[in-house]
Amino acid sequence: MDSLRQETDADAPEVEGLYDICFSPDRHRLSSYQLRGGVRPIAQLCQVAHDDQGALVGAIRYWPVHVGDADALLLGPIAVHPARQGTGLGRLLIGQTVALAQKQGWTRIMLVGDEPYYGRFGFEVLPNVVMPPPTDPARVLGFTKDTDAWIGIAGAVRKFSRSDL
């Protein structure tokens, strides 16, 4: 059985290694990374999963962003070790952390990803929310299940400044 816990600073090198395996070291060039640079993630929502032998098998992080005049969370990256993909671990990471974010009062959660995959978790395309280029607008998704938090929210996604934290 996998165990989830909050990521610590000591986990960072291993988590970054997992992200390299799952995405590639070039992932830092993606537009979502423009929004993360110099901003600390929301520590309580950054979770890691270890298997029974203690090996890191999954990780998820969340970052604060501005969308128009509103605050939101940017989910990602989320990674599940290739040997564990298709086992429900991604569903567990997303489900538990979205619920935790909502308990902490975050009403808007977004990500950049494939709607056919993330739609089953309650994410839908946000047609009025614009990520930095070159993001495909069809991949800008917001958590909408049982919430109207995205109604009337529009505009560019911007980085949180240090004074915002």
Counted residue by residue, the chain has a size of: 165
Q: In 134-143, which positions are buried (b, 16+ CB within 10 angstroms) versus exposed (e)?
A: ebeeeebbbb
Give per-residue pLDDT as tens, 24-59. 777 877 788 889 888 999 999 999 999 999 999 999
The structural domains of the chain, with segments of one domain joined by +, span 3-164
Give per-residue pLDDT as tens, 60-99. 999 999 999 999 999 999 999 999 999 999 999 999 999 9
Give per-residue pLDDT as tens, 9-18. 999 999 999 9
User: Span 122-135, mean pLDDT?
Assistant: 95
- pTM metric for this prediction: 0.92
Q: CA torsion sign, 124 to 127 to 131 to 136?
A: positive
pLDDT at 141 over 60: yes
SS3 147: coil
SS3 127: coil
Structure tokens at 73: 């969370």
Give domain 3-164's CATH superfamily.
Gcn5-related N-acetyltransferase (GNAT) (3.40.630.30)
Q: Which residues pair with 73 in a beta bridge?
A: 64, 109
Cβ neighbors of 145 (< 8 A, separation 6 or more) are: 121, 122
Q: How far is CA 110 from the centre of its chain?
A: 7
Specify the residue for token string 């165990």.
Answer: 3
User: Strand 155-159 relative to strand 129-130: parallel, antiparallel, unpaired?
Assistant: parallel
- pLDDT band at residue 162 under the 50/70/90 scheme: low
Query: Cα–Cα distance between 159 and 144 in angstroms, integer?
Result: 22
Distances in Å between the alpha carbon of 161 and those of 24, 39, 68, 105? 27, 7, 14, 20
